[in-house]
Chain A
Amino acid sequence: MMSGRTSFKFSLFLACAASLAASDADTLLLRNVDVYPMIGPRLTAASILVQDGKIALIGAKIAAPKGVRIVDGQGLRAYPGLIDSGTELGLAEIADLRVTVDSGELGAFMPQLRALTAVNPDSEHFRVVRANGITSVVTFPSTENGERNGGERQIVAGQAALIHAAGWTWEEMAVNGSAALLLIFPSLPVNQPGFAEAKRTYDREIQQIDEFFDQARRYERAKTAGGSNFKIDLKLEAMLPVLDSRLPVAISAEREPAISDAIEFAGRQKIRMILLAPRELGKAAAKLKERNIPVVLGRTLDLPLHEDDPYDSAFTLPAQAWRAGLKIAFGTFDNEFVRDLPYNAATAVAYGLPYEEALKAVTINAAEIWGAGGQIGSLEKGKWADMMLTDGDPFETRTQIKALFIKGREVDLKNRQTQLYEKYLNRP
């Protein structure tokens, strides 16, 4: 299908990749590309002017400012870079080897933990996912179900960060360094012996969460009162932005009853909620809609939650969410599968989600949900020039990413895997 396409080859790009550190490398004029901006109309054979890493102008014809580097897009398509709303990128290298994993701290209530400062910019995972068009990810301080090897179950696991997938330091990578607080909602087992006991544990945990939030409110009042005995408490201090809704709470809950309880909890505590990784919606969908709660869906390519669910229940979950009027984004929730983000979105399209909505879910919706709608997620004037150039529909596996720009800088698409490929393909 792709054979016969012109290959994307210019020396300009190679020169650029080699001089990543150069301060002027993030100013360029990209010409002759079909622009899929997400916001606003599509443009054919158009140009994008990037200045100091940001999009300065998009138009049919743009006069080249004097001395600007001109890049011919050769009729490729330009999309905003993809955003994965659920990863542990930079925090976990080899899933099975604990010393390489920094997600999943000890302690049930740990809002003060920041994923951002543990991001290793040189993680091989960044190079691998960039090769598939991912320019930003939300990296979480724990898995969505709080699993770790031993220790107490995590409940409030820390702060997630929205980061660029490239940068010299985590500081440079930060788009929204504190994008949400992760709350792993308790889960209720179904049809298992000992349900009554499990339900008591479930209720007790919800009560503990409420108590923790109430405690934070008392702390807030004490701080405002400013008594001489007031002492800084790092845990409760970290809760202040949550209490005044500056920081949303990403609550992970799989099943409909837990989702409904999480919505009630968020209402009672008057916090901004983002629902994370639900595996069914059911009646909770209407409640989410009523309260304008955005939803970050997990992998579409997943098994049904219940044995007697329709075989395609995970495939159709995004369509169900969209039909309920919910704002959705996608997360892969496993570093290994971040690069397959576009294929999960494609499966959602196959099973009823409109194509444009799927594309929004991995670009502009994600940016807006994570508080960076003004910075990334679409090709618009004033935003970071996070762009991927493709030779076709980015949701199709056979489509190749021909070039990737993060903050206007071209990113080398080579990684350890392409190097091993070349090395061993050429083994005599």
Chain B
Amino acid sequence: MSFKTSGAFLCCLACLCFLGLGCLPLRAETILIRDATILTIAQGTLRGSIVIRDGKIAQVGRNVAEPPGARVIEASGQYVMPGIVDCHSHIAVDGNVNEQSVSVSSMVDIRDVINPEDIAIYRALAGGVTTANILHGSANAVGGQTVVLKMRWGKSAREMIFEGAPPGLKLALGENPKRQGNPPAANVRYPATRMGIEDTIRQAFLDAKAYKAQWDDYEARAARGEHVLAPRKDLSLEPLKEVLEGKRFLHVHSYRADEILMLLRLADEYGFQVRTLHHAVEGYKIAREIAAHGASVSTFSDWWSFKVEAFDAIPYNAAVLEKKGVLVSLSSDDPELMRHLNTEAAKVMKYGGLSETEALAMVTLNPAKQLAIDARVGSIEPGKDADLVIYDRHPLSNYAKVQKVFIDGQLYFDRAQAKSVVREVE
């Protein structure tokens, strides 16, 4: 599968707009960000200005005509980059992120438990994050459904949902799903080993294939005009069926090379696509196999040693995978780390020698591609959503501070207006 936004999703987006579900009333304000260093990610870095119109990037360039009546943001000496996209987060979830009671919990959906008032949303926004993939936890081999949010702080749960972003489903491999099968878990249940996790996932997809066959058969016969009863809907198999049909992305929590390879082979056998391997701290050991399957990886920059399966985690993971042709993003999995993913990106320059653009792409364009929302966000290009971050220093510097964050051309965070201890002391 290529990491391009497919027409189907854009179509879906249009439908949502038609139904009035996803389209926000955009303020028609025209904004000019003047004389900044613009890190476009897709088309190099330049000194120039950006025109925002109707929530979209209208113009980017060295010499742009200043639209009359535009609100001007003077950004001399400042840096603008695309809003950060975090491909792995659990913020804004009301209550437990894990439906822990069963090993296959694909019927549950994070979309149903979004808490738009979670302060972590505001803090992420203040750290330059404009979009985040919100995942179910990793307690179950087959977890729940995921949702992509824009950090539209102050809006309702529904208004935060990234219109048209493809839905996802979480799988989990290794130590976390094993925990439910081993003491001291209160109610021990299958599986308890990596073998059992393979079996659980295999059984789930076997069931989903049979379920899909029933529906395909029904739909074919119905299309021929036969009078047939529809099969019974199964809410846990439905999302797996969508995965088989390529309509829902698989996000797979994984650590060790063996378990990743197991899943890739299972996917090949059952004919489904692994969209993104999350964490995948040993991904560098099987970069070739990951690239061959066409999976992408969303990993930590330098986390290691917190558990046994993270002992071979190396900060060079992202660089090795990138060099071997895998689409890589850096994600947080943590409401604190989420606030400085820009400097996390600098670590792939230190460890593995990637370029500035490759580094910043790992927290902007690459995760946008992984989530198939790159037609909308992830780089500074005309026509894309005006999701932009202004920094006072180069965003790869540890001294950089987020000054302003725009989503859909609206100013959602302004350090000059935010409650800050520094100013109070000063």
Complex interface residues of chain B between 23 and 74 (CB less than 8 A to chain A): none
**Interfacial chain A residues near B393, Cβ < 8 Å:** 350
Complex interface residues of chain B between 291 and 312 (CB less than 8 A to chain A): 302-308, 310-312
**Interfacial chain A residues near B421, Cβ < 8 Å:** 310, 312-313, 316-317, 319-320
**Interfacial chain B residues near A335, Cβ < 8 Å:** 305
Pick out which of these stretches binds chain B: A61-69, A79-87, A154-162, A336-344: A336-344
Which residue of chain B has the shortest Cβ distance to A352 in the bound complex?
A: B422
- B160 CB within 8 Å of chain A: no
Q: What separation, in Å, do the CA atoms of A421 and B303 have in the docked complex? A: 15
Q: How many residues of A contact B (CB 8 A)?
A: 48
Q: Which of B122, B288, B307, B335 contacts A95 (CB 8 A)?
A: B307
- B187 CB within 8 Å of chain A: no
Q: What separation, in Å, do the CA atoms of A207 and B339 have in the docked complex? A: 40
**Interfacial chain B residues near A48, Cβ < 8 Å:** none
Which residue of chain A has the shortest Cβ distance to B345 in the bound complex?
A: A397
Q: Which of B305, B418, B425 contacts A94 (CB 8 A)?
A: B305
**Interfacial chain B residues near A172, Cβ < 8 Å:** none
Complex interface residues of chain A between 309 and 335 (CB less than 8 A to chain B): 310-313, 316-317, 319-320, 323, 335
- B211 CB within 8 Å of chain A: no
- B18 CB within 8 Å of chain A: no
Q: What's the minimum C-beta distance from B63 to chain A, rounded to whole angstroms?
A: 27
**A395 touching B314 in the complex, CB below 8 Å, given contacts A95-B305, A320-B425, A400-B350:** no
Q: What separation, in Å, do the CA atoms of A310 and B415 have in the docked complex? A: 11
**Interfacial chain A residues near B96, Cβ < 8 Å:** none
0/1 interface trace, chain B 335-377, chain A, CB 8 Å (1 if under) = 1110110010011011110001000000000000000000000
Contact B122 A417 (CB under 8 A): no
0/1 interface trace, chain B 388-400, chain A, CB 8 Å (1 if under) = 0000010011111
Contact A343 B123 (CB under 8 A): no
Contact A94 B401 (CB under 8 A): no
**A347 touching B422 in the complex, CB below 8 Å, given contacts A94-B308, A421-B352:** no
Contact B347 A397 (CB under 8 A): yes
**A395 touching B420 in the complex, CB below 8 Å, given contacts A94-B311, A95-B305, A420-B314:** no
Q: What separation, in Å, do the CA atoms of A346 and B305 have in the docked complex? A: 24
Which residue of chain B has the shortest Cβ distance to A420 in the bound complex?
A: B314
Which residue of chain A has the shortest Cβ distance to B314 in the bound complex?
A: A417
Q: Which of B119, B287, B311 contacts A424 (CB 8 A)?
A: B287
- B320 CB within 8 Å of chain A: yes
Complex interface residues of chain A between 336 and 393 (CB less than 8 A to chain B): 336, 339-340, 343, 346-347, 349-352
Contact B304 A316 (CB under 8 A): no
Contact B401 A303 (CB under 8 A): no
Contact A339 B302 (CB under 8 A): yes
- A301 CB within 8 Å of chain B: yes
- B406 CB within 8 Å of chain A: no
Q: What's the minimum C-beta distance from A275 to chain B, rounded to whole angstroms?
A: 18
Contact B284 A397 (CB under 8 A): no
Contact B420 A396 (CB under 8 A): no
Q: Which residue, A340, A343, A424, has most C-beta atoms of chain B within 10 A? A: A424
Q: What separation, in Å, do the CA atoms of A339 and B424 have in the docked complex? A: 32
Q: What separation, in Å, do the CA atoms of A425 and B424 have in the docked complex? A: 49
**Interfacial chain B residues near A425, Cβ < 8 Å:** 284, 316, 320, 323
Q: What's the minimum C-beta distance from B413 to chain A, rounded to whole angstroms?
A: 9
Q: Which of A125, A128, A336, A397 contacts B396 (CB 8 A)?
A: A397
Q: Which of B123, B351, B396, B420 contacts A303 (CB 8 A)?
A: B123
**Interfacial chain A residues near B401, Cβ < 8 Å:** 350-351
Contact A397 B308 (CB under 8 A): no
Q: Which of B305, B336, B352, B424 contacts A301 (CB 8 A)?
A: B336
- A233 CB within 8 Å of chain B: no
Which residue of chain A has the shortest Cβ distance to B399 in the bound complex?
A: A350
**A397 touching B398 in the complex, CB below 8 Å, given contacts A94-B308, A319-B425:** yes
Which residue of chain B has the shortest Cβ distance to A422 in the bound complex?
A: B316
Which residue of chain B has the shortest Cβ distance to A1 in the bound complex?
A: B356
Contact B425 A421 (CB under 8 A): no
**A397 touching B314 in the complex, CB below 8 Å, given contacts A307-B119, A310-B419:** no
Q: Which residue, A304, A307, A420, has most C-beta atoms of chain B within 10 A? A: A420
Contact B123 A311 (CB under 8 A): yes
- Tally the A-B contacts, defined by beta carbons under 8 Å: 130
Q: What separation, in Å, do the CA atoms of A336 and B307 have in the docked complex? A: 11
**Interfacial chain B residues near A316, Cβ < 8 Å:** 420-422, 425
Contact B320 A95 (CB under 8 A): no
Q: Which of B285, B307, B349, B352 contacts A397 (CB 8 A)?
A: B349
Complex interface residues of chain A between 189 and 203 (CB less than 8 A to chain B): none
Q: What separation, in Å, do the CA atoms of A395 and B346 have in the docked complex? A: 12
Which residue of chain B has the shortest Cβ distance to A334 in the bound complex?
A: B306
- B315 CB within 8 Å of chain A: yes
Which residue of chain B has the shortest Cβ distance to A345 in the bound complex?
A: B398
**Interfacial chain B residues near A339, Cβ < 8 Å:** 302
Q: Which residue, B336, B421, B426, has most C-beta atoms of chain A within 10 A? A: B421
Which residue of chain A has the shortest Cβ distance to B123 in the bound complex?
A: A311
Q: What separation, in Å, do the CA atoms of A339 and B303 have in the docked complex? A: 11
Q: Which of B302, B351, B398, B422 contacts A396 (CB 8 A)?
A: B398
Q: What's the minimum C-beta distance from A314 to chain B, rounded to whole angstroms?
A: 9
Contact A96 B308 (CB under 8 A): yes
**Interfacial chain B residues near A304, Cβ < 8 Å:** 123
Contact A398 B396 (CB under 8 A): yes
Contact B284 A421 (CB under 8 A): yes
- A231 CB within 8 Å of chain B: no
**Interfacial chain A residues near B123, Cβ < 8 Å:** 303-304, 311
Contact B420 A310 (CB under 8 A): yes
- A427 CB within 8 Å of chain B: yes
Q: What separation, in Å, do the CA atoms of A7 and B345 have in the docked complex? A: 23
Q: What's the minimum C-beta distance from A43 to chain B, rounded to whole angstroms?
A: 25
Which residue of chain A has the shortest Cβ distance to B340 in the bound complex?
A: A301
Q: What separation, in Å, do the CA atoms of A423 and B422 have in the docked complex? A: 46
Contact B316 A417 (CB under 8 A): yes
**A346 touching B422 in the complex, CB below 8 Å, given contacts A93-B305, A397-B346:** no
**Interfacial chain B residues near A395, Cβ < 8 Å:** 398-399
- B173 CB within 8 Å of chain A: no
Q: Which of B396, B399, B400, B422 contacts A312 (CB 8 A)?
A: B422
**Interfacial chain A residues near B285, Cβ < 8 Å:** 424, 427
Q: What separation, in Å, do the CA atoms of A232 and B422 have in the docked complex? A: 52
- B165 CB within 8 Å of chain A: no
Complex interface residues of chain A between 179 and 197 (CB less than 8 A to chain B): none
> Could you show 27 A-B contacts with beta carbons less than 8 Å apart?
A94-B310, A94-B311, A95-B307, A128-B304, A304-B123, A311-B339, A311-B418, A312-B126, A312-B420, A313-B421, A320-B425, A323-B425, A336-B306, A343-B343, A347-B340, A395-B399, A396-B346, A397-B347, A397-B349, A397-B350, A397-B398, A420-B284, A420-B312, A421-B314, A424-B285, A425-B323, A427-B285
Beyond contacts A2-B349, A352-B426: 19 other A-B pairs, Cβ-Cβ < 8 A, are A97-B307, A97-B308, A307-B119, A311-B418, A316-B421, A319-B425, A320-B425, A336-B303, A336-B304, A350-B393, A350-B401, A397-B346, A397-B398, A398-B346, A418-B316, A420-B316, A421-B284, A424-B284, A427-B287
Closest 6 interchain pairs by CB?
A346-B398, A96-B307, A397-B346, A421-B316, A316-B421, A417-B314
Q: List residues of B whose CB falls within 8 A of some A CB.
A: 119, 122-123, 126, 284-285, 287-288, 302-308, 310-312, 314-316, 320, 323, 335-337, 339-340, 343, 346-347, 349-352, 356, 393, 396-401, 418-422, 424-426
Q: List residues of A whose CB falls within 8 A of some B CB.
A: 1-2, 93-97, 124-125, 128, 301-304, 307, 310-313, 316-317, 319-320, 323, 335-336, 339-340, 343, 346-347, 349-352, 395-400, 417-418, 420-421, 424-425, 427
